[in-house]
Amino acid sequence: MSTNYNNWEFALFSAHIHHYLPAIAWQDHYGLYDKWKAYHRPRPFRTAQSWEDTAINELKGGRPKIICLYHLGLHGQIPRILADRSVHFDILMDEQVYLAQSDELQRMQQEMQANGLTYQYLMSSDPQVLLKIRSAVVEGRHVLVFADGNSGVSESRHKKVQIGFLENTIYVRTGIALIAYLLNIPVVPVTHCSTDGLNQLIFGTAICRRGDEGREVFIYRCMQQLYDFLADEIRTDPWRWECWGYLHELNCYEIRDDNITMPDTADIAALRLTLRGREGYFYRKNFSYRWQ
């Protein structure tokens, strides 16, 4: 292996893979990492790739929905693809993400609006965001949102809901489900696939509020179903999910103190790494570190 794997990016990627998919052998993490790095190279929002329109056309009729995308490779191109087919929506996103890519996002917005429709970015931190989403829905627009990988490091886990994910649990923000409950609109998970060079969208089962379902019950069920959909997409091809590299920034999992042991440097799970200018070993099984 010519790649240097003694770096924090690989170490955290590998630790996250083990945390959620422990049956994958340690020696297989290297190939997964290489494939993940190659697949998630930067892509422009505009694409010359071909897309099949049948599924996309389903979004042109019926009631407005919350359309949930995932960081599965072509996620940044899907809004532009939908707009090119005259699907009308607003995009709900984190303000930090918007500011980091504001020039490119504004350019994409201008290009999308060439079809004569308006497309707005709604900030999740805006105190008026629920009213703005309600207005979008009343006016017949869908709301596009990423179900996974949202920032929010400052949010403590007690403000999130803990759900099952792959072979472990994950703490997730509940805004999508809360909005769907309050406005009584369906939540639809969306992924994509490619066959013979032709891309197409794949819709999961719509998640709808049941007649007498309480708010907290719906929020849990909605978020669990959204992450079950994601788990089905990546269980056999985990390299497809971009977020492995930064789950530690999302405050979305918990490492119990009683599970932490000092790494045996001879253990296959121990990686030699530098932390704060000093050499030591990171133990991927439980995220612990020991300086030399």
User: What is the average pLDDT across 121-150?
Assistant: 92
Q: Helix H segments across the chain?
A: 8-20, 29-39, 54-57, 78-84, 95-100, 102-112, 129-138, 175-183, 215-234
User: What is the average pLDDT across 17-46?
Assistant: 92
| pLDDT for 159 | 83
User: Beta partners for 169?
Assistant: 164
| HSE toward the beta carbon, residue 153, CA cutoff 13 A | 6
C-alpha 36 chain-centroid distance: 15
pLDDT higher than threshold 60 for residue 145: yes
| pLDDT for 152 | 45
Greatest mean pLDDT among 53-62, 95-104, 164-173, 255-264 lies in 164-173
Q: Which residues contact 183 (CB under 8 A, 6 or more apart)?
A: 133, 134, 137
Residues 39/239, Cβ–Cβ less than 8 Å: yes
Give the pairing of strands 198-203 and 187-195: antiparallel
| pLDDT for 171 | 95
Q: How far apart are CA 88 and CA 232, in angstroms?
A: 28
Long-range CB contacts for residues 111-120, cutoff 8 Å, separation at least 24: 111/46, 111/80, 111/83, 112/79, 112/80, 112/83, 112/84, 113/83, 115/83, 115/84, 115/86, 117/83, 117/86, 117/88, 119/79, 119/83, 119/88, 119/89, 119/90, 119/91, 120/90, 120/91
Q: How far apart are CA 168 and CA 263, in angstroms?
A: 22
| pLDDT for 55 | 81
Percent of residues, the chain, with pLDDT higher than 70: 92
- The pLDDT mean for the chain works out to 90
User: What is the average pLDDT across 13-24?
Assistant: 98
Structure tokens at 261: 């042991």
Q: How confident is the model at residue 258 (pLDDT cuts 50, 70, 90)?
A: low
| pLDDT for 136 | 96
Residues 125/95, Cβ–Cβ less than 8 Å: yes
Q: How confident is the model at residue 257 (pLDDT cuts 50, 70, 90)?
A: low
Greatest mean pLDDT among 99-103, 156-160, 167-171 lies in 167-171
Q: What is the DSSP letter of 95?
A: H
pLDDT higher than threshold 70 for residue 75: yes
Q: Within a 10 A sphere around the Cβ of 128, how many other Cβ atoms?
A: 10
| pLDDT for 1 | 45
Helices (H) and strands (E) in the chain, counts: 9, 12
User: What is the average pLDDT across 116-125?
Assistant: 94
| pLDDT for 48 | 65
Could you give the angle at the alpha carbon of 88 between the alpha carbons of 84 and 93, nearest 5°? Answer: 100
Top-confidence residue, 86 or 45 = 86
| HSE toward the beta carbon, residue 121, CA cutoff 13 A | 20
For 181-209, the pLDDT digits (tens) are 999 999 999 999 888 888 889 999 999 99
pLDDT higher than threshold 80 for residue 156: no
